[in-house]
Chain A
Amino acid sequence: MIEHNNILNTSIETKEYSTLNLGPTHPATHGIFQNILKMDGEIVMSAEPTIGYIHRAFEKIAEHRPYNQITPLTDRLNYCSSPINNLGWHMTVEKLINCQVPKRADYLRVIIMELSRIADHVICTTIIGQDTGATTGFLYFFQMREKIYEIFEEVCGARLTTNIGRVGGMERDFTDVAWAKLTIFLKEFPEFLTEFQKLIERNRIFMDRTINCGPITAEKALSYGFTGPNLRAAGVDYDIRVANPYSSYQDFDFSIPIGQNGDTYDRFMVRIQEMWESISIIRQAVDKIPKGAFHAEVPEFYLPNKEDVYSKMEALIYHFKIVMGENTIPKGEVYHAVEGGNGELGFYLISDGGRAPFRLHFRRPCFIYYQAYPEMIVGGLLSDAILTMSSMNVIAGELDA
């Protein structure tokens, strides 16, 4: 009898969990970061994220570079929407030196920033589709990002890491080709977006996979520092373009789409609707754009024309001073935030009057909200965890700085 009991005891299956390394390099994580998951079959029991694989010490480098050489660093934060980072940085310096940018430059910047927002959202929304198995939408809609990059190329010569704009305005006005490409884009994009929405939005498989997948309440989202589309999907209508308008956003009429459940489907839908709003903003900017200068008269910061450098003493001096980082910079502390593709992208700058910032801190939205990821996926399926990550749009460059 006793023997029999012993046999029973040993034959009871003890609960065993398996450990799964999701990443660092895995096609479904869309970036280099690792999650060590404790799995009960297909259910995630706990997650331990490790980040920092592409940390490039931007805050340290920024303390050793003149202000104009910091712009390329900001390119590499959220590289899906570099121009927003570039222009956000320029605006921070403009705030420090108290420089008023002309309206035309503001409008040109708005066009550029909204195009980048669309590019950013194109990536995120198509990737959500891709991760639910809808590759068609991804390949089809991604053509639009190419069109946006062509416009960037026409404006600044670069496509991905743009280094667009300068302190005081834009480096050059849009060319006729750029305007023509923009016009074609404004005509084509709505068709593509409508088609993409038709393909995905009410698709039964897509809805089953995304609704109630990785939800977060508004309260939790706020306590975890969510901003941008992910916060708006949870139902909080916070958008810096409205709360603290910069670059003349107050001149435009647009609404802030919000979700209700904060799940993957809502994050997807908020981004889709934001693309429509962005298109509307670009249209308004194109219609209303005033004539005039595309940069402010700040010779200490804005590089003079090359012809002037060769023929005018003053221009030569300014050119030399800007290139060598010899211009006088006021002392002070500023914080400036812009609505990046993923939320509040803030620049906290302390200047001690030196040629390089004394301290430059980037408030990187991805870095702050990614810490909520374990909480969002625990108790769900592994496949939901993948979808939740793609819908949060974590960009490794911004995460790791």
Chain B
Amino acid sequence: MENLTNETSQVVNPHFELLLKVETLLKAKFGVGILNSELQYDFPVFVVEKAIIINVLEFLKTEPELKFSFLTTLCGIHLPENKGAEFAVMYQLHNMEQNWRIRIKITMPNEDIKVPTAIGLWPSANWMERQEFDFYGFKFEGHPDLRRILNMDEMNYHPMRKEYPLEDGSRDDKSDKMFGR
């Protein structure tokens, strides 16, 4: 009985409906390329193979039933603990007519942080990708102008990576071992 009510409440949830709809269409088109799908708060989130990311984005943008034609934002994530998939990039798409929003994620290991560029689909991806290159060092393949954007050109590391401390490393009054993370 409890399961039943849970299911019905999930079906009523419009975000869950959207998750199912997009999942069905994506799986029909890309099959095993779609690695995972789940609902995180009010967002359907899909993890897809890195190699097909541009195809997936293009499909989501052009498929008449979906029309996710607006790229809200994209950003990189560094998960050093997550061995074999230390880096991730998330894309957030928006269908303004239906007011649907979804998030697409790709993951990749340390050694291979090349990502195909999304500029061909959205010119707005230009600076967003430059920013994530600046912060994390993602190599956006096919990007016409992959330079640092916010930090100075002479900087020789990518500061948002978790291994770089914010403050002087010798200080320990704020370290995680004192207070936990």
Contacts and interface: CB of A to CB of B under 8 A. Distances in A.
Interface of A: 51-52, 55, 57, 59-61, 63-64, 95-96, 222-225, 236, 238, 243-244, 324-326, 332-335, 337, 344, 346, 348, 350, 352-356, 359, 361, 363, 367-372, 400-401
Contacts of B122: 223, 225
B159 A57 contact: yes
Interface stretch (B1-9, B51-59, B70-78): B70-78
Interface string B150-163: 11100000011000
B144 interface: no
Given A61-B166, A96-B41, 9 more contacts: A51-B149, A55-B150, A59-B135, A222-B70, A243-B99, A244-B99, A346-B73, A346-B92, A348-B90
A60 B160 contact: yes
Question: Which residue, of A238, A324, A400, has the highest number of chain B Cβ atoms within 10 A?
Answer: A238
B92 A335 contact: yes
Contacts of B127: 367-368, 370-371
B123 interface: yes
A401 B148 CA distance: 14
A125 B181 CA distance: 45
B124 A224 contact: yes
Interface in B3-58: 40-41, 43, 45
B69 interface: yes
6 contacts: A64-B174, A244-B99, A333-B40, A334-B40, A359-B78, A361-B75
B99 A356 contact: no
A332 B180 CA distance: 18
Contacts, number: 100
Given A52-B151, A368-B128, A356 B181 contact: yes
Nearest to B162: A63
Contact of B41 (A59, A333, A355): A333
B72 A346 contact: yes
A96 B103 CA distance: 17
Nearest to A62: B166
Contacts of B77: 350, 359
Given A225-B122, A334-B41, A243 B96 contact: yes
A355 B124 contact: no
A247 to B, nearest CB: 15
Contacts of A355: 179-181
Contacts of B131: 367
Nearest to B174: A64
Question: Which residue, of A96, A244, A332, A371, has the highest number of chain B Cβ atoms within 10 A?
Answer: A371
B166 A63 contact: yes
Contact of A354 (B103, B174, B180): B180
Interface string B116-139: 000000111011100100010000
A372 B101 CA distance: 24
Contacts of B149: 51-52
A359 B162 CA distance: 10
B124 A223 contact: yes
B135 A225 contact: no
Contacts of B152: 52
Interface in B77-107: 77-78, 90, 92, 96, 99, 101, 103
A60 B159 contact: yes
B151 to A, nearest CB: 6
Contacts of B40: 332-334
Contacts of B148: 52
B41 A95 contact: yes
B165 to A, nearest CB: 8
B81 to A, nearest CB: 9
Given A60-B166, A324-B179, A224 B99 contact: no
Nearest to A240: B99
B72 A363 contact: yes
B124 A335 contact: no
A57 B148 CA distance: 14
Contacts of B167: 64
Given A52-B151, A348-B92, A224 B73 contact: no
A355 B175 CA distance: 12
A335 B103 contact: yes
B79 to A, nearest CB: 8
B43 to A, nearest CB: 6
Contacts of B174: 64
A64 B174 CA distance: 9
A368 B73 contact: yes
A236 B94 CA distance: 14
Nearest to A224: B124
B123 A332 contact: no
B45 A333 contact: yes
A368 B92 contact: no
A333 B71 CA distance: 19
Question: Which residue, of B40, B73, B103, has the highest number of chain A Cβ atoms within 10 A?
Answer: B73
Nearest to A367: B127
Q: 9 tightest CB-CB pairs across the interface, nearest first?
A: A225-B124, A354-B181, A52-B150, A363-B73, A361-B75, A55-B150, A64-B166, A371-B127, A333-B40
Contacts of A361: 73, 75
